[in-house]
């Protein structure tokens, strides 16, 4: 400061030493504040630079994935088509199974009705068979009772047939003889 006093400085420019020290302190304080702000700004810039690098890496990664997406989308479309075809096939099988189920239920109901009808017919047939067995037993019993008489009638019938056959043979002979006499008489006359 003394250098300033020794120089010829106009009075207006001359600042008193206290004010100068005060200004110097203020400027130093401002300088420290600015240095702190510069350090803070530098730190923020460094952080922004790191963020920018991170963002660039992320953007590069995203761009790489974006480039892969068309292939992935195409594969997914193909997979989707395959799955849709499979779903349609399953739907057809379900429809066929439902039709088969309905047919099976109808067939089952028909078979149940037929079974009931067969049960009823079986009951009727069992009754008829029982009646036929009784009738056969009656006929067998009757036959056993009448068999001796029938054998006797059969023997009598055979004997009558033999007698009839013998009589018929005699009649034929007699007719031939008569016919022969008549033919002989007519030749004479």
Domain range list for the chain = 2-177
Angstrom distance (rounded) from CA 41 to CA 88: 64
At 40-58, the pLDDT tens digits run: 999 999 999 999 999 999 9
Confidence at residue 176, expressed as pLDDT on a 0 to 100 scale = 79
**The dihedral of CA 47, 48, 49, 55: what is its sign?**
positive
> How does DSSP assign 64-78, residue by residue?
HHHHHHHHHHHHHHH
At 125-184, the pLDDT tens digits run: 899 989 988 988 888 888 788 778 878 888 988 998 998 888 888 888 888 777 776 666
Average pLDDT over residues 16-39: 91
In degrees rounded to 5, what are phi and psi of residue 10?
Answer: -60, 155
Angstrom distance (rounded) from CA 110 to CA 118: 12
Angstrom distance (rounded) from CA 41 to CA 56: 21
* 62-66, 76-80, 95-99, 183-187: segment of lowest average pLDDT: 183-187
**Contacts (Cβ under 8 Å, ≥6 apart) of 4:** 14, 20
Angstrom distance (rounded) from CA 30 to CA 35: 8
* DSSP 8-state code for residue 1: -
Residues 17, 1: contact at Cβ < 8 Å? yes
Distances (CA, A) of 7 to 4, 10, 18, 61: 5, 9, 18, 68
**The dihedral of CA 157, 158, 159, 162: what is its sign?**
positive
Helix (H, G, I), strand (E, B) or coil at 81: helix
Residues 1, 20: contact at Cβ < 8 Å? yes
pTM of structure: 0.37
Angstrom distance (rounded) from CA 55 to CA 173: 147
């Amino acid at each position: 400061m003394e250098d300033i006093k020794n120089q010829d400085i106009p009075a207006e420019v001359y600042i008193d030493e206290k004010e100068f020290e005060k200004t110097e302190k203020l400027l130093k304080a401002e300088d420290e504040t600015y240095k702190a702000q510069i350090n803070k700004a530098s730190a923020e810039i460094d952080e922004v630079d790191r963020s920018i690098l991170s963002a660039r890496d992320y953007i590069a990664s995203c761009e790489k994935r974006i480039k892969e997406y068309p292939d992935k989308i195409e594969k997914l479309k193909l997979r989707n088509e395959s799955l849709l075809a499979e779903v349609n096939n399953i739907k057809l099988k379900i429809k066929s199974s439902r039709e088969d189920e309905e047919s099976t239920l109808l067939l089952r109901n028909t078979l149940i009705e037929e079974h009931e009808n067969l049960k009823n017919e079986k009951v009727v047939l069992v009754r008829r068979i029982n009646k036929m067995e009784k009738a056969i037993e009656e006929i067998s019993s009757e036959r056993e009772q009448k068999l001796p008489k029938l054998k006797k009638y059969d023997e009598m019938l055979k004997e009558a047939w033999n007698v009839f056959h013998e009589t018929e043979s005699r009649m034929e002979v007699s007719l031939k003889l008569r016919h022969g006499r008549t033919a002989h008489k007519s030749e004479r006359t």
